[in-house]
Amino acid sequence: MEQWTRDHVFGLCQRVAARLNRFGGSLRLRMSKALSLLAAAWLFGCGPQSIAAVSCEDGPCAQSGAAGGGGAGTGAGAGANSGSGGAGASAVGAGGPIHRYSFNPSADGVEVVDSVRGLNGVLVGAVYGDGEAAGTVLLAGKDSNQYVDLPNHLLDGLKDVTFEAWVIWAGGDAWQRIFDFGDDDTGVDGSRNGQPRSYAFLACIERPRFAFRAPPVKSAETLMTGSAPFPTGSLTQVAVVIDERAQRASLFVNGLETASIRFVGTLSDIYDVNNWLGRSQFLADPGFEGSFSEFRIYDRALSAAELAASFDAGPDAQ
């Protein structure tokens, strides 16, 4: 843009003011004041700046973009907002999930859509619910081999993490998995022929139990068990929170903490080529019998207040 001189600006003021003589004095006075303010703005360098002139090198900008969008739109928070409304962002605030799987039928009837980052999974043998069960995936459990297969390496680079699921458990035999991420000692994608080598899982053994083991096979297993039986026949929110920096793992059911232990592991040590909902790394364990309405992964440790708010908002919160 051409740089205006002081004479240019005041010349413009005089020419316009002269043409306003035929209009009412009130209008002339208002326009003169406006032009004087415009001239002052240009003279003191207060004209509009280009976005490229803004520097954020010393830290994140409070706002990004000319539209005045909130500054939380970076990293995981931006992904969540560009997905299906932030995956519960209204309940947990900034920093929504990095993966959100809501079980609405896809065009091919098989794909499971990650509405945040697009790392989609697939249904294996399972079917989407309809009618009153719409928005869910149904698993027959036992030896049906029905489950949800999520992409490999979802745990890569994660330290603090929250797994949150909304399920209806029909009950039945122990060790049914809500989720199980890991591998066996063959290291082969999808294999259950070897000895499970590394895993992070949440199972129903009447009470919910979280287990973690990193390689090698003989390493110690970390266990955390809820204080009350897992509900059957009703929609239930369950969450596992790993706060690696604080060395704590916590278990929540329907917004309430039911267990907490010291945790000294690293989730990213797991070689997670088998990332399953409703299926165990252990061949002898039964499949999950019931339904899933929602599964989310956050790259931070949600607080008790945030999980309570998420429970109140429900699985369909946008």
pLDDT 10s digits, 41-55: 333 343 333 323 222
Rounded Cα gap, residues 304 and 302, in angstroms: 7
Per the model's pLDDT, the better-predicted residue between 97 and 73 turns out to be 97
pLDDT higher for 21 or 125? 125
Q: How many whole angstroms separate alpha carbon 216 and alpha carbon 286?
A: 25
Rounded CA-CA distance 135/267 in Å is: 30
DSSP-derived secondary structure letter, 255? T
**Which one-letter amino acid corresponds to residue 23?**
F
Whether 288 contacts 176, CB under 8 Å: yes
Q: Domain ranges in the chain?
A: 1-62, 76-313
The pLDDT value recorded for residue 186 is 83
* Average confidence (pLDDT) over 109-121: 94
According to the CATH classification, is domain 76-313 in 2.60.120.200?
A: yes
Q: Which residues of 139-150 are buried (b: 16+ CB within 10 A; e: fewer)?
A: bbbeeeebbbbb
How large is the average pLDDT for residues 271-294? Answer: 96
List of long-range contacts for 55-63, beta carbons under 8 Å, 24+ apart: none
> Are residues 224 and 210 in contact, defined by beta-carbon separation less than 8 angstroms?
yes
Q: What is the pLDDT of residue 64?
A: 31
User: Where would I find the beta strands (DSSP E) of 19-134?
Assistant: 63-64, 69-70, 99-102, 111-112, 121-124, 127-128
Tokens matching residue 258: 């039911």
Residue 94 has pLDDT above 60, yes or no: yes
Asked if residue 156 lies in contact with residue 119, where contact means CB atoms within 8 angstroms, the answer is: no
Q: Which residue blocks in the chain are alpha helix, DSSP H?
A: 6-19, 25-43, 75-82, 89-92, 304-313
pLDDT confidence band for 11 (50 / 70 / 90): very low
